[in-house]
Amino acid sequence: MALKIYNTLTRTKELFVPIEEGKVKMYVCGPTVYNFFHIGNARPFIVFDAFRHFLQYIGYQVIYVQNITDIEDKIIKSANEENVSTAEIASKYTKAFFKDIEKLGIKKADYYPKASAFVKEMIELIKVLIEKDYAYESDGDVFMSVEKVANYGKLSGKLIDKLQVGARVEENQAKRNPLDFVLWKKAKPNEPFWESPWSKGRPGWHTECVVMSQHYLGTPFDIHCGGIDLIFPHHENEIAQAESASGKKFVNYWMHNEYLNIKGEKMSKSLGNFFTTREILKKYDGEVIRMFFLSKHYRSPIDFSEQLMIEAQKGLENLYNSLRLADFSPKSEFNETEQFKEAFSKYEQKFISALEDDFNTASGIAVLFEISREIKKRLSKNKKITKQEKQDVYLLAVILYRLGKIIGLFNKEEKFQKNIDRNFEDILGLLIKIREELRQRQDWELADKIRIGLKKLGIILIDKKDGTEWEVVL
RNA sequence: GGCGACAUAGCCAAGUGGUAAGGCAGAGGCCUGCAAAGCCUUUAUACCUCAGUUCGAAUCUGAGUGUCGCCUCCA
């Protein structure tokens, strides 16, 4: 078994060979903090987080870096609209970002560099590019000269002379070639600025990722990730700067996730057809959102809809049910028998080889359902379950749990672990007892009042032959 | 105009040469005061079309149709 990654640069699946044995250095393009991020933006955050978990599981030490873009035109615009400083906008939405990704079950990156903290380094990089004649100054602005860059377009497959310049954006007269992109931007009145040899201004967008990724990960580093829309111009321009300045290869593997669509169209802020992750989190648990994204391959476009979210939710419930039916608890002890090890390795192998094939999470999740089905089957076929059978089922649940954990599922322990809060359970038990009495008296109205009332609180009562059980809704 | 992606059951979705994983929905059954939930069983005979390569193709090649994306900021 070996890990294969689809590399945008070569447009093929390649065997993954790390630069340093046992280590993966990974950079994921993060948010521009001018607004709440939308549910489509959540896709890379979630999938690449899951991939990181997986890489760690198969034994890599992963250094994971995600930038926070806190210098940018849209932040300035947003600040003007809300009539506060750009720093306040950035700080507000950075906090919101961290809050939201936590709810999505995303583990913190090792580093979250902010663009504003690296302006000095960016200026140094721009100086080098000017010295080497890759960049030029024009009235306080600095531009990267695309024609000077060998192989410009190698990532996106675009040829300079075939691009439709000016088709959708006005040409800038200060540029020598209309495709040249800005490295340093002179500040207009009332815009925030930094001192530089060229003007009071701010760095262009692409430069920060070049500087910050290399700062933490070195040159070259292993994996650079982001949404497919970043291929051009963002990542193309990163390569141009980084490789021109250093003379070395910038990144070995480029990974890009496809879009989240809505009604067949790309979800985007400019089209206005988006939901913020925040809104969606009000309706669905972060883990449901994770399930939704991981149920598909990251390089396929997905359509977002209420129906599909509900499907993801039901599927996840299904898995949790199996854990609950098996009386699984992550804390209880069990014996790792030979039989367990054998069964574990059978499913684990299947799961891992799915993930190793360019992170095929959809196929991996199918393995989880396979185990889930096996658990339920065993429990139902045997009306009277022996102690041994019960143990076997428990071991299957352990396997299910461990594999799910690899991609960041099963963090809602209250879903299968019932003794979280003694007090809570006692009170609930009392209510159930009262309802039982009411049912015996056939006072259905009052009995239903309890059931419906609890449902509103997120607790579902399940009446069975030998008593009433309960369950917490996601 | 240039470049690229995708097209598998009602819906979602794996599967890159040997006769179709999985989920949701549906149907039948069990359970049940009702309901909800749960469980069991079941659900693709041409994988967009046509042509080709092959003993054999959803899987490779060519042509076509359709959908979407990039070439502006965008995950």
- Domains present along chain A, CATH in parentheses: 4-277 (3.40.50.620), 305-415 (1.20.120.640), 422-472 (no CATH)
CA of A355 to C1' of B64 (A): 36
Q: Which residues 109 to 148 of A reach strand B, CB within 7 A?
A: none
How far does CA A235 lie from the centroid of its chain?
A: 19
HSE at residue A472, side-chain half, CA atoms within 13 A, is 16
Q: Which residues 34 to 63 of A reach strand B, CB within 7 A?
A: 37-38, 40-41, 43-44
Strand B at less than 7 A from CB of A378: no
Cα R_g (chain A), whole angstroms: 27
The one-digit pLDDT tens for each residue of chain A (474 residues) are 699 999 999 999 999 999 999 999 999 999 999 999 999 999 999 999 999 999 999 999 999 999 999 999 999 999 988 889 999 999 999 999 999 999 999 999 999 999 999 999 999 999 999 999 999 999 999 999 999 998 899 999 888 777 655 444 455 668 888 889 999 999 998 899 999 999 999 999 899 999 999 999 999 999 999 999 999 999 999 999 999 999 999 999 999 999 999 988 899 888 889 999 999 999 999 999 999 999 999 999 999 999 999 999 999 999 998 888 888 888 777 888 888 899 899 999 999 999 999 999 999 999 999 999 999 888 876 556 777 888 888 899 999 999 999 999 999 887 776 544 556 777 788 888 888 888 888 888 888 888 888 887 778 888 877 678 777 776
| Cα A410 to Cα A48: distance, rounded to the nearest angstrom | 18
Q: Which nucleotide is nearest, taking the CA of residue A379 and each C1'?
A: B39
Specify whether the CB–CB gap between A9 and A155 falls below 8 A: yes
Q: Which residues 221 to 240 of A reach strand B, CB within 7 A?
A: 226-234
| Cα A226 to Cα A238: distance, rounded to the nearest angstrom | 13
Strand B at less than 7 A from CB of A321: yes
Strand B at less than 7 A from CB of A154: no
Strand B at less than 7 A from CB of A162: yes
Q: Which nucleotide is nearest, taking the CA of residue A205 and each C1'?
A: B73
| Cα A224 to Cα A234: distance, rounded to the nearest angstrom | 12
Question: CA quadruple A213, A219, A225, A229: dihedral positive or negative?
Answer: positive
Q: Which helix (H) or strand (E) element contains residue A50?
A: helix A42-57
CA distances from A238 to A211, A254, A303 (A): 9, 12, 30
User: Which chain B positions come under 7 Å from a protein C-beta?
Assistant: 1-6, 11-16, 21-25, 31-41, 67-75
| Cα A175 to Cα A158: distance, rounded to the nearest angstrom | 20
Strand B at less than 7 A from CB of A261: yes
Tokens matching residue A118: 């690296």
